[in-house]
Homo-oligomer: A and B are copies of this chain.
């Protein structure tokens, strides 16, 4: 499509371009506009019908938004900010450099500017920061007929009118009513009597992760947000919740790989920022590995007399690390999804102990055949390796399953107790067991 649009623009075939756009959807237009040159993009943008232009704008990436804002007139900016939903406006203002923010705010109404400022104050992880104010609020004293008329004439551009939120004269949230129900009811019914008073709502300061988990629990598509006095101030819609679920998952996954979490897209993150997010944890883990080093130094007489023992260290450490991180990963995920609670720690330990027994027996047996029968290694060395493997796997799994629960109990993010940290801890256990067995079996 990029080529088509480029050509149409170059040849100034505006009418055809306009017709062409009308067959597409805003998301797709936005996605393709990113590939146009700036002037082309502005021209294309101006050809779009106004409502569509605003929608397309909201789907553009940060750079393209900035470029367009810089190239269009104040009046055009005003059109955009007037029509853009408040939550989209706030998101977009947050990303802009200050001189462009100024240009945008200059062209917004006073009321909207105040709202934007208020929104910018909410903590970025709070319900307040993701809510929108384009909701449909009806008075509890309205009849169905009045309500439908109100919707028809007053609320044509509210973001979410699939659910009506019903308030009293002090703006306190009293009930909800799906739009569908409103249509099905008798014209003269008063909302107060037909609304659902069993409201699932949240506060502006609530953690957005908690909000997301309520969305999952109740299978809802939007949730009202109230202030401390239970006054309705906004709603959160499910499309924003999906973004949050993805973000939280990305953060967890990044933490589990020993990185400082970062929301930005990989290809758009500068090299120095990527390096910064990674090096701290690598340093911490590298220095913790001093412990394993000193264990080896302590047993250097053992290694000196049977140098072949060194050959099995990587296998032992890797298998222990992998066994441990399997367990910690499952528990971290279970805690994140709410399937596992802190109080389940005994159940978890007992389960992991039994799993580790099975796994340890299989791994040690296979290893025995491989080392003793295939590689013709000395029997005592074989027993040292297999015995160590057996106990390392068991310790790895039990420790690996417990650490995330302990982290949660201590109010840390369990995700930090993943593969890298478990590996370092398990390494130390593995080496101590290994050298102790070596001394025992080989009589060093």
Residues of chain A at the chain B interface (Cβ within 8 Å):
23-25, 27, 148, 151-152, 156, 161-162, 178-180, 183-184, 198, 200, 215-221, 238-239, 241-243, 245-246, 249-250, 252-254, 256-259, 265-267, 271-272, 274-275, 278-279, 281-283, 285-287, 289-290, 292-294, 296-297, 300, 303-304, 307-308, 310-315, 317-319, 321-323, 325-326, 328-331, 333-334, 337, 339-340, 344, 347-348, 351, 354-355, 358-359, 362-363, 366-367, 370, 418-420, 423-424, 427, 431
Contact = CB atoms under 8 A, between A and B. Distances in A.
B314 A427 contact: yes
Given A318-B427, A323-B282, A300 B296 contact: no
Contacts of A339: 265-267
Contacts of A245: 242, 245-246, 249
Contacts of A310: 296, 300, 303, 310, 313
Copies of the polypeptide in the assembly:
2
A101 B216 CA distance: 27
B319 A286 contact: yes
A221 B237 CA distance: 10
A299 to B, nearest CB: 9
Closest 7 CB pairs of A and B: A257-B329, A289-B315, A292-B314, A219-B239, A275-B358, A162-B162, A296-B311
A46 B293 CA distance: 66
A23 B196 CA distance: 11
Contacts of A354: 271
Nearest to A351: B271
Contact of A358 (B148, B180, B271, B321): B271
28 contacts: A25-B218, A162-B180, A179-B180, A216-B239, A216-B243, A221-B239, A245-B246, A253-B253, A253-B333, A254-B333, A257-B325, A257-B418, A257-B419, A258-B326, A266-B330, A266-B333, A266-B348, A267-B347, A281-B322, A282-B323, A285-B318, A286-B319, A293-B311, A314-B427, A314-B431, A318-B420, A322-B420, A325-B419
